[in-house]
Amino acid sequence: MSLQTIDQGIATRIGHYADAVVIPAGYQQILVSATPGIDSDGEISADITRQTEQAWENVTKILGAAGATVADIVSVRHWLTKESDIGPALAVRTRYISHRPASAVAVVSELEHAEFLVALEVVAAQLPEE
């Protein structure tokens, strides 16, 4: 994808993401709801790394159903329930995306279900096929 990223030197001091991403007119946007690390059988690991891997697998599958890939992600929000899980969750992220979308990480007191340690919310953008 050749979307323009804006880099003012703020985000790069914190992590591997852009300060902003410009989505030109004509791009289709795909908004993926906050997606936890629950598998298709309803199983949830108690391990943050496994939950994050499953969340990324879920996001990958959702994007695929919309005709997109993780390379089309322009924004990602990580919702975590423990500050100590930030490092492991971001380490998993680097295995799924190498480009620099806009990004945020937030630690919240609880997600929809007490077993959820992480949820990923992404926006993807791509030129529609003609």
Local confidence pLDDT in tens for the 130 residues of the chain: 467 888 898 888 888 888 899 898 889 999 999 999 999 999 999 999 999 999 999 999 999 999 999 999 999 999 999 999 999 999 999 999 999 999 999 999 999 999 999 999 999 999 877 5
The residue with tokens 């994050």 is: 52
The CATH number of 4-126, from 3.20.20.70, 3.30.420.40, 3.20.20.450, 3.30.1330.40, is: 3.30.1330.40
- For the chain, the domains span 4-126
Choose among 104, 82, 130, 124: nearest CA to 15.
104
Neighbours of 26 (CB within 10 A): 8
Regarding pTM above 0.85, the answer is yes
Own/partner long-range contacts of 1-8 (Cβ < 8 Å, ≥24 apart): 1/71, 1/72, 1/99, 1/125, 1/126, 3/27, 3/74, 3/125, 5/100
